[in-house]
Structure 1
Amino acid sequence: MSDLAKMIGSEDETPQDLEKMIPLLPSPMVQLIGKQASARPNVDNIVCFCRLAASDLNRPQNGRALHHRCVLIMNLKTAATVCVDDRNIPLNPGEALLVFPFQFHDYSAPESEDLLWFFVTFDIEDVSDLERFRYSPFVLSPNLERLAHDLIQAYLLPGNDDLSVAVFRLMLERIRLVEPIVRTEGTQPAPSTLLSRVNQMALSSREMPSAKEMAATVGISESHLRARFRESCGISLGRHLRQLRLEKACGMLRLGTSRISEIAENCGFTSVYTFSRAFAHAYGMSPSEYRRIGNPPTPSTDS
């Protein structure tokens, strides 16, 4: 590390006082040409909340959480295990974890009932530059904790939506500077389940496979797959796949520019009419209305 970098302070250290930082700035040769922003993926629609008790972690109660949004989890107090897809990831105080779109996640083995966990869910166009954090926690530096404080402060004040999003975008830039924790113990695959195998098949390809294609991949008949899925998950395979398709469509509608007909095809619907009818039944509005509003109510649980 250079002397200048040591003087400024690393990502894990508290920055120097402003009076000490200002003299470090160079005198620009050309004052009209400076640092240029890179084309980062669009981030929007952030939701901040907390969990203060371990018994409140697993919500919804009926099944593991699944949605088209990213989730940032910041642990300030009490270690627990975050179960993401088929991996058990220990998350200790002073650490954070990113859960990516369509990753099932729940929580286990909290060390105590008393928690202090901060969550941010958000929409993002492209997660490719964050992929190294998939299944890997990272340390909450003083800079990240300070930005979390500023984000909560902006979020709690009415009319500060633009500031809240701007602060969170800055937080993501800080996260991109840190390195994931390399942990050789404790992060191991959990037993593969039928639910996780179905989700991996459904979301690993551009187009949703049919139940018949999934059954062939698993090596059982379609009727056996449907029966086993309902027995193990408590819901029908068709209803679960419809939820996956609709969640995928929500993400494409919010942040993408594809035509609704293209989205219907990419999400496994046979026609725009079928897609629009299923979407309206689940969310109470058409896909085009959702694209304008971007915040539908919770989808219907009717089978």
Structure 2
Amino acid sequence: MRQLSDFHAQIPLRINEPENLYSGLCASDRVLVDNVLMFQRLTRSALSQNLLGNRMHHRYVLTYVIEGAGRVLLDGTAIALKEGDALLVAPYQYHDYRETDVEQLRWLFITFEVLKGGGFLSGLRDRLLRLDEVSRDLLLALVDIWQNKSSEHVRGAEILPTLERLLLRLRCGGQVSRASSLSSGEPVDEWVSQVEELILKSVYEDWSLEEVARRANVSLRYLRSRFEKVLGVAPSEYRANYQLHTAMLLMRDSRLSLSQVAERSGFSSLPVFSRFVKRRSGLAPSQLRQSLLKGAFEFSFSSSNHDLSM
């Protein structure tokens, strides 16, 4: 009973009743995450797998350096990470893991999807993150839950709110600083972000790249040159990767037909979609879906200059 008494002694004697019993604390932009994965890279070669598919995807990636400093090319800017640093990569944000100081290393990766509150995380984009004591405790809790032998349902029920707390702590209470450039590459700017939005919108509006350039008030040549200089990828390739990742995400829903997947990925017909998927992944759409549902698909994006309807 002594322990219970000590606990009760920590509760304030007076907690005032609110004026309105139906209006409490809310967070309209709170982050809700789903589909969390966690893994480590232990060698330089494993870290710098040179697949475009590893560098552009629809998920958030929280990277934490345990051992072995290195560099990440993020939207055309090289960012130095040392032990204890963290970095959040947003969906479809172009990133590439560059040279590290040693062959043996330990980089922790937490990847996840966001159901709500992606705008709240924008404050962590392009920032170096230093975890404070609370954040480190939350990170350790995430690792413990992930390594736990409990059922996936139990682990999921614990890991999702814990990750949300960590992201909230990083956004509101962590040590955040603008990532410094280590290259002559042009850092991300508002213009590039607007063009990214236009390119993604073009998928569903059936705009050509010329139309994207017109809406951005620049020439097609300038758009291609500046976009590739900043992001390290051509606009047509950026769009193609977005469409393929969107299709792959939709294919995981077995209730959708391939025709529905094609339409929602921005393709005018199933034959056009089929040729695109075959060209980009090496598999027919039905084969790709089967591999995705089995969780056994690994692919390399084609780098050839095909017509991507741009």
Q: What band does the TM-score fall into relative to the shorter chain?
A: 0.5 to 0.7
Please point out which of 157, 160, 179 is paired with 1:162. Answer: 157
* Secondary structure at the counterpart of residue 81 of structure 1: strand
Q: In the alignment, is residue 131 of structure 1 matched against residue 122 of structure 2?
A: yes
Higher relative contact order (CA 8 A, sep 6+): 2
Please point out which of 139, 146, 170 is paired with 2:137. Answer: 146
What are the superposed Cα offsets for residues 65-105 of structure 1, whole Å, 9 maximum, x if unpaired? Answer: 11010000111222211111111111122221100000111
Partners of 2:294 and 2:172 lie apart in 1 by: 30
| CA distance 1:212–1:98, change in 2 (3 Å) | same
TM-score, normalised to structure 2's length?
0.65
| CA distance 1:62–1:133, change in 2 (3 Å) | closer
| CA distance 1:198–1:29, change in 2 (3 Å) | closer
| Letter matched to residue 131 of structure 2 | L
Cα pair 1:281 1:300 within 8 Å, conserved: no
Once the two structures are TM-superposed, the CA of residue 190 in structure 1 deviates from its matched residue by 4.6
Q: Which residue of 2 aligns with 1:26?
A: 12
Alignment length (residue pairs): 268
| CA distance 1:67–1:283, change in 2 (3 Å) | farther
Partners of 2:7 and 2:64 lie apart in 1 by: 29
| CA distance 1:35–1:69, change in 2 (3 Å) | same
Partners of 1:21 and 1:90 lie apart in 2 by: 45
Q: In the alignment, is residue 109 of structure 1 matched against residue 106 of structure 2?
A: no
| CA distance 1:251–1:190, change in 2 (3 Å) | farther
Cα pair 2:65 2:83 within 8 Å, conserved: yes
Partners of 2:46 and 2:252 lie apart in 1 by: 29
- Structure 1 unmatched runs, 5+: 1-17
Partners of 1:282 and 1:180 lie apart in 2 by: 45
- Structure 2 unmatched runs, 5+: 278-282, 305-310
| Letter matched to residue 297 of structure 1 | F
Partners of 1:199 and 1:176 lie apart in 2 by: 21
Amino-acid identity (%): 25
Partners of 2:211 and 2:107 lie apart in 1 by: 40
Partners of 2:128 and 2:157 lie apart in 1 by: 28
| CA distance 1:37–1:153, change in 2 (3 Å) | farther
Partners of 2:25 and 2:16 lie apart in 1 by: 16
Once the two structures are TM-superposed, the CA of residue 178 in structure 1 deviates from its matched residue by 2.9
* Secondary structure at the counterpart of residue 35 of structure 2: strand
TM-score, normalised to structure 1's length?
0.66
Q: Which residue of 2 aligns with 1:268?
A: 266
